[in-house]
Structure 1
């Protein structure tokens, strides 16, 4: 019944907002755009109508395959601007109006070689631009990204770090929500699944440290939005990429786009194979019995992956577009591992030694499909309505066989096998409406309804007397059902120097979990308000100031709540907590922006206050460490952030990123007090060199300081990435080589010191070397330029 009501409200809203058309007089504008030298038509040239006083675009279109264009406007004081990449722009301030029609006739554009060179440089170089409530990192073809996944590209984005486990953090906090094209995605929910998105597929990455009320309130430290490329030039365009590397990292990618007057067909294809070896070492010390368990081993994650994105835009007319798209990803995993265990008594005598081997196989099919409708109103380019219905599913069929073989001492022979049957279905319905009342005042409103239904059937069996018996203590079915309904409204004023945007979001959450074997249920039903406010002031063309506040929430995920995990290492076990409560964070920040000649510099300060902080607490008994998330008090974080870009010459560009935060923790769990203070900082320096013979070289140095957690000390990390690129085939082809973690120094190391036990952990994935080739084809050299603005 609730689904029918929601759909009825959505359909009513679409009809209502669609009826809000203006009634002023419409002027028709038409013409033909050609190349002055060849006299050939120029398809997909950009035609813009702009306000004569504010110089801001009011509406626009692109030319057809034959160079013609037709558009309408209701403006009265305007000029017309016609541009095309690599050509000198033409502007028309005077024209004849006959029967409400302006006929510009044939417009010949002249080539501009210097502009072509400039576009190529910008397309190759990643750069960051600032907007009122976010930063946009435009992904260029950086050399170190050759053959890289989305996770590795994210690690090059200012303020963002990705650790060796694939955990994404923003300004040192892992409570970040990752979106794809502005929407939740099953690929974003699973850090490993982001590996199926390659750097060649990414247009830009939006970093929103203080999201406005328009965005989902999920994610205590902010939002990262990955924008996937979709080529929109008319005609057939595309690119192909081939990559190979050591250890095994082989992939093929193909991007195709075909644009006509009514349809835009787009697809991304990718397939490959990769291997991720990991060396690990663990030491568990029991301070009560004075025993020590030492473990050293090697784990592999071998994957074959296939990914296809297929979609079409249907242009009903210049102001109404329907998009239907789908994404299918399929992974085949093979995870062999071998670990050697040694147990020492209180006198440091070896009492037992055994080898534990693992054979794990898994298949991971992922589906995502979306229907989207967008209406652009003619009275203003930013007056639009957007509705989307998004569905996704993810399944994981995983089986493991563990074999313990005694090497010396006490008998530890054992055989264990596990089976996981996991499924997740997510449905998201979203409606957004934007209405500018003038060039300065804008209102936004909308709603979102998200349904998330998950089931995980986990079974453990032990070999007893040559027959497998189910271990009832480690076996269960966990069901997770969450529904979140959100509505929001924002209002914004943006003048020439000063702007402000304020909003409010209301979200209602209904969460139900059930452990079927024990009939243990956890039901949470709550509503929350999430206010936000952002402001900016432009002192001059070179200096600006931004400030913002927002309230955020982190809702525990399935793996935070599910108490049954894979027992890959039976002496280091991770569990979930079905009674976990959500985190809430109030976030404040002020950022100054300087753009002086060859230098751009950004400096900011921020503060986060988080309640019901979720921390992973480790307990130990007889050398078995069990880690489980708990709500532990509050956290106050104060930080500073610094980003700069400096180009001392045409052949050298430097980018620097620095982040420091100090935190104060107050909390307790059971009888243990966890009050402490600490700080951490990270820095990144990127140097790009342009060498003769169209060769580029870049080096990226990263450093992350040591820091404290509730129970542990995490060691610092320093690592270096290198890249080399050579253009061939008149710039349409590119040869690349990249070396990530040159010195194999990206090591995760932690020490846990408690009254009853000590724990040491070490993990290292080593060096990755990749060779790549990419080639762009079609009109406009698709590899060099990502397309014009869409109207």
Structure 2
């Protein structure tokens, strides 16, 4: 701990020396002739305190310079401008002392003497104040759920917290997020896209770091139009307090396997620089198992899978406030993941074991990202220009081994895949905002995105070895040799150039936003398998308009009507025409003829604030053209197998409504409930047959938070997720009941959490289908688990962070946090 404080204090010293005079701040151009000195001691023990932060401010509360005390508690700070200044003396766990000084040519050296610091037992309250209950606010283009203690205690990570947010579902098996039942959703953190796998990222963000969750179900033209169901933006608490602040979070999940997660968040702000660092780790195993039964050939596939993985996430960066008008921010994110997947599949026909195959995949991934941001604020409030650049590169090699475990060996089923995946992303954008008047605002922006993907797959096949007499050599070792069987390669590049314009106007109680985004989308792909080469190109220009109208008849009532056009473009996995083995009876193949699907989305929302909480009612309609859907066809190479691919169905209409409420039933009992019902009409062709289906689904959540004492809380959470139906599958509903408790310890600086998920082990994925073959299936995972966690927060200092506009947002945010 002492070394950590010393490092942060040393950084403070360097930045204090590096203060840059600015013409926009005339006080900084005064003669810097002043010198102050003193000794800092503990009031009770009278011992010297090393590494104490000394901050010098002018009368306008702007930081001029600073320093730290040495091992003897002494300090000397030079080059203090003439005039009145304020000296703030800060140290972790102590009350901040404030002294006023006046530097002049006559009195340029001031000795403050011995300064006694008192211990601060309630300093933590200045760092973070979280409301008792969550609230909902409907803004011009988003619904904002301000996270209170009722949602924070619902989960230890962002992934678990989001599963308690209305309209949002997190798959307990895969970690995939869906919004209004659709997984085609973008996830942003502080308004920025993430280059890290979303499921991994959300497990690393502590729920206590989340300030609010923004549901942008109908995004405006300012946003990237990809993501049919909308955008989920996670807003983190501003972590730019003066001085040093940190939190440590760790936990253990116990089920069929034990899994560990931990994270540490730190920041140090001094002078004009805010340094931040975040580190998170997840380690453990997950078991999954399932069965698929076909009735046409009396076959049964039994799956037993285990995923053993560990992942690490590090983010380090800084915000540099040159002056009130210029801010520069940079950070790097380093993410690594090691993974061993072990899957066993048994296939029986008429109760006779026909195949017992094993797949072992040893994979890893490394992602490195770098972000640079510069913001220029003009004289007029809200008038600014923001430049941003993102660079991201990742590598994810794999070694997959497929073996048939039944003798006599069928060596055509024994082979290895050596896979090399490389991806690179470059993003450059400019955002300009100009308030034309008190009631109007103009937003303009340009963006260029370049995505490159390269994949190489070498397949080696085992072949029999015979002796000179033609007999198979089978001594347990030297009975086969490995030869090159197949080679595949694909390169897939996407370039997107876009520009947007938004105009905002307020008429008394009515607010309006009109906008349009213009995009040029270019794709160039090459797929190679052996001697076969397939080229894929696409070149599309599209316009994405948006319109929002918000009416506030009073402070407690709000109505909103909105429209936007969005797109879902085929991914590389959906268009890759190279056939891949999935299971002994299923082969996966992409469709290079896939077209983008476009969505026209309409929404109406009403929000009512009342004394004990809030109430929101919303309805929506979406018209999807050329809907991309997953299709199972009879495998043209083997009619006993099925081929998993993708196709554009004729149309897809989705409409529904949702109700949500936060309500304080009693002083000790608060509830957070949401209900949504949506209908989806879909038509398309599968196996040459025209199919049409209407799917109705109901989802319900109820979270109860009980306050037993000031430091002890209990929670009971219930969820019901209705079944679904597509043109080929019917999925059964799922439900879950969780319970938990949290206890504040160590004078409020620590929190112990206990939780049991899926008490009745009712979460399972169960389906049935009649096309292409009559079949049923069910998959289970480790849904019933117990969790114990501990979080400790330490640090001090009042929040003096300078907010700045974050990309893809209309609010000020800091540069720190997980991204």
Alignment TM class, shorter chain as reference: 0.7 to 0.9
SS at 2:593 equivalent: coil
SS at 1:152 equivalent: helix
Deviation at 1:203, TM superposition (A): 4.0
Q: Which residues in structure 2 correspond to 1:128-527 (within 5 Å)?
A: 128-140=136-148, 142=151, 146-148=155-157, 150-163=158-171, 164-188=173-197, 191-192=199-200, 194-246=202-254, 247-285=257-295, 287=296, 291-344=297-350, 350-380=351-381, 382-406=382-406, 414-465=413-464, 466-472=480-486, 475-517=487-529, 518-527=532-541
Question: Aligned in 2, Cα 1:292/1:258: closer, same or farther, shift over 3 Å?
Answer: same
Deviation at 1:789, TM superposition (A): 5.4
Deviation at 1:153, TM superposition (A): 2.9
Question: Aligned in 2, Cα 1:118/1:252: closer, same or farther, shift over 3 Å?
Answer: closer
Q: Which residues in structure 2 correspond to 1:698-717 (within 5 Å)?
A: 698-717=715-734
Question: Equivalent residue for 1:650?
Answer: 667
8 A Cα contact 1:574 1:627, kept in partner: yes
Task: Between 362-371 and 461-470, report the one with greater CA deviation.
Answer: 461-470
Whole-angstrom CA distance in 2 between matches of 1:505 and 1:766: 42
Deviation at 1:126, TM superposition (A): 4.4
Q: Which residues in structure 2 correspond to 1:526-605 (within 5 Å)?
A: 526-564=540-578, 567-605=581-619
Whole-angstrom CA distance in 2 between matches of 1:696 and 1:256: 27
Question: Aligned in 2, Cα 1:140/1:341: closer, same or farther, shift over 3 Å?
Answer: farther
2:696 to 679, 688, 694: 679
1:663 to 680, 684, 698: 680
8 A Cα contact 1:718 1:745, kept in partner: yes
Whole-angstrom CA distance in 1 between matches of 2:26 and 2:557: 40
8 A Cα contact 1:144 1:722, kept in partner: no
Deviation at 1:741, TM superposition (A): 2.2
Question: Aligned in 2, Cα 1:495/1:730: closer, same or farther, shift over 3 Å?
Answer: farther
Verify: 1:744 aligned to 2:761, yes or no.
yes
Question: Aligned in 2, Cα 1:626/1:572: closer, same or farther, shift over 3 Å?
Answer: same
Deviation at 1:181, TM superposition (A): 3.0
Verify: 1:767 aligned to 2:768, yes or no.
no
2:739 to 709, 714, 722: 722
8 A Cα contact 1:147 1:771, kept in partner: no
Listed one character per residue, the Cα deviations across residues 728-765 of structure 1 (whole Å, up to 9, x for unaligned) are 01101111112222222211111111264435343333
Whole-angstrom CA distance in 1 between matches of 2:450 and 2:598: 21
8 A Cα contact 1:143 1:736, kept in partner: no
8 A Cα contact 2:608 2:616, kept in partner: yes
Whole-angstrom CA distance in 2 between matches of 1:394 and 1:786: 36
Question: Aligned in 2, Cα 1:649/1:194: closer, same or farther, shift over 3 Å?
Answer: closer
8 A Cα contact 1:615 1:710, kept in partner: no
Whole-angstrom CA distance in 1 between matches of 2:590 and 2:392: 24
SS at 2:298 equivalent: strand
Deviation at 1:441, TM superposition (A): 0.6
8 A Cα contact 2:502 2:516, kept in partner: yes
Whole-angstrom CA distance in 1 between matches of 2:274 and 2:789: 29
SS at 1:667 equivalent: strand
Whole-angstrom CA distance in 2 between matches of 1:759 and 1:219: 31
SS at 1:644 equivalent: strand
Deviation at 1:695, TM superposition (A): 0.8
Question: Equivalent residue for 2:72?
Answer: none
Whole-angstrom CA distance in 1 between matches of 2:725 and 2:202: 28
8 A Cα contact 1:323 1:371, kept in partner: yes
SS at 1:744 equivalent: coil
8 A Cα contact 1:352 1:411, kept in partner: no
Task: Between 675-684 and 258-267, report the one with greater CA deviation.
Answer: 675-684
Deviation at 1:678, TM superposition (A): 1.9
Task: Between 128-137 and 224-233, report the one with greater CA deviation.
Answer: 224-233
Deviation at 1:602, TM superposition (A): 0.2
Whole-angstrom CA distance in 2 between matches of 1:145 and 1:548: 32
Question: Aligned in 2, Cα 1:392/1:196: closer, same or farther, shift over 3 Å?
Answer: farther
Whole-angstrom CA distance in 2 between matches of 1:730 and 1:618: 59
Question: Equivalent residue for 2:14?
Answer: none
Whole-angstrom CA distance in 2 between matches of 1:394 and 1:647: 47
Task: Between 697-706 and 162-171, report the one with greater CA deviation.
Answer: 162-171
| TM-score, normalising length: structure 2 | 0.78
8 A Cα contact 1:265 1:313, kept in partner: yes
Deviation at 1:25, TM superposition (A): 14
Q: Which residues in structure 2 correspond to 1:25-40 (within 5 Å)?
A: none
Question: Aligned in 2, Cα 1:147/1:416: closer, same or farther, shift over 3 Å?
Answer: farther
Listed one character per residue, the Cα deviations across residues 61-101 of structure 1 (whole Å, up to 9, x for unaligned) are 899989xxxxxxxxxxxxxxxxxxxxxxxxxxxxxxxxxxx
Whole-angstrom CA distance in 2 between matches of 1:713 and 1:132: 37
Task: Between 584-593 and 752-761, report the one with greater CA deviation.
Answer: 752-761
Q: CA-atom RMSD, angstroms?
A: 3.4
Which consecutive residues of structure 1, in runs of 5 or more, have no partner in the other structure? 1-23, 29-37, 49-59, 67-112, 345-349
Listed one character per residue, the Cα deviations across residues 352-391 of structure 1 (whole Å, up to 9, x for unaligned) are 34432232211110111101001122321x2221110001
8 A Cα contact 2:126 2:797, kept in partner: no
Deviation at 1:301, TM superposition (A): 1.3
SS at 1:374 equivalent: strand
Deviation at 1:542, TM superposition (A): 1.5
Deviation at 1:617, TM superposition (A): 0.5
Deviation at 1:144, TM superposition (A): 5.3
Whole-angstrom CA distance in 2 between matches of 1:432 and 1:161: 32
Whole-angstrom CA distance in 2 between matches of 1:201 and 1:119: 12
SS at 2:583 equivalent: coil
Deviation at 1:410, TM superposition (A): 10
8 A Cα contact 2:206 2:249, kept in partner: no
Question: Aligned in 2, Cα 1:708/1:45: closer, same or farther, shift over 3 Å?
Answer: farther
Whole-angstrom CA distance in 1 between matches of 2:279 and 2:200: 18
8 A Cα contact 1:278 1:766, kept in partner: no
Whole-angstrom CA distance in 2 between matches of 1:425 and 1:131: 35
Question: Aligned in 2, Cα 1:119/1:330: closer, same or farther, shift over 3 Å?
Answer: closer
Whole-angstrom CA distance in 1 between matches of 2:63 and 2:513: 32
Whole-angstrom CA distance in 1 between matches of 2:800 and 2:579: 43
Deviation at 1:717, TM superposition (A): 0.6
Deviation at 1:334, TM superposition (A): 1.4
Listed one character per residue, the Cα deviations across residues 185-228 of structure 1 (whole Å, up to 9, x for unaligned) are 2215x545544444355443321001111111111111122334
Whole-angstrom CA distance in 2 between matches of 1:140 and 1:788: 23
Whole-angstrom CA distance in 2 between matches of 1:209 and 1:123: 25
SS at 2:760 equivalent: coil
Deviation at 1:252, TM superposition (A): 2.5
